[in-house]
Amino acid sequence: MAESTNKPVVDPVKMPKLKTDAKTLAALNTWSLAAAIFIGFAGMFSAISLFTKGDWVFTPAISDIFLSGNSSIAPFALLCTLGATALGLFGILTIGKITDADALKKNWKHVFHVCLFLLGFYVLHLVVLILEALIMIGKSSGTRIQKTIWLNGFLPSIIMALGTGALAFLARTIAGGKIANARIASFLGIGFGGVAFILAFIATMVLIYG
C-alpha cells in the first residue's frame, strides 16, 4: 500500500518576498503608466499603418525609436506593444497599493516636464517639415516628395504631438493634486497598450499570411 502524507513529496521553492518602499512604488507605477500610454498610443497608429502595406508609413520623430510603420519590422512593433501592455498591466495592478501621495504627485510632475520637452520637439519638427515642403516646391519629383513629407512626416508628428499634449495635461492634473486621475491613467495605460498589441498582432498576421 502506497504511503501517503499531508506534506508535499517535493519541497516547494521558497521565493523571497520583494519589499518595495512607497516612494519607489509610486515612481515605478507612474513611469510604467506614462510609458504604456505613450508607446501604446504610438503603437496603435503604427499598427494601423501596417495595414496600408507601405502606402502610409507612421514614423514620427522620437517614437520611431520604438515603433515604425515599416512592414519589415512588424514583429518589432509587436514586441514593443506587448511591452506597453505589460507596463500598463503592472500600472493598473499597483495603482491601488500606492500610499505616498506626495511621491506620486512628484513623479507625475516629472512626467509633465518630459512631455513638455517632447511636445516642444514635435512642434520644432513640424516647423522643419513645413520649411522642407516649401523648399521642395518646383522640384521635378515634387509630388512624391510632398506626399512623403505631409503623409509620412507631418501627419504622424501631429498625431504624436496631440497625444503627448494630452498626456502632459493628464500628468499636470495629477501633479496638481487630482490624485483620482491616476486611476484614469491606469485605464489608459492598459487600454492603449492592449489595443495596440491586438492591432499589431493582427497586422503582423496579415502581412505574413496575406
46-65 confidence digits (pLDDT tens): 888 888 877 888 876 665 54
Q: What is the pLDDT of residue 70?
A: 45
Residue 189's nearest CA partner among 81, 113, 115 is 81
Percent share of the chain, pLDDT over 90:
51
Cell of 50: 501596417
1-31 confidence digits (pLDDT tens): 555 556 655 555 554 555 678 899 999 999 9
Q: What is the pLDDT of residue 15?
A: 46
Residues 6+ apart with CB under 8 A from 135: none
pLDDT, mean of residues 96-122: 94
One-letter amino acid for residue 163 of the chain: G
H or E element that contains 191: helix 181-209
Signed CA dihedral, 204, 74, 196, 50: sign only? negative
- The domain ranges of the chain are 22-209
Cell of 153: 512626416
One-letter amino acid for residue 171 of the chain: A
pLDDT, mean of residues 200-207: 86
d(Cα 15, Cα 108) in Å, to the nearest integer? 32
| Residue-wise DSSP of 78-139 | HHHHHHHHHHHHHHHHHGGG---HHHHHHHHHHHHHHHHHHHHHHHHHHHHHHHHHHHTTT-
Q: Give yes or no for residue 71 having a pLDDT over 80.
A: no
d(Cα 38, Cα 133) in Å, to the nearest integer? 28
Residue 85: Cβ within 10 Å count: 25
Residue 131 and residue 54 in contact, taking contact as beta carbons nearer than 8 Å:
no
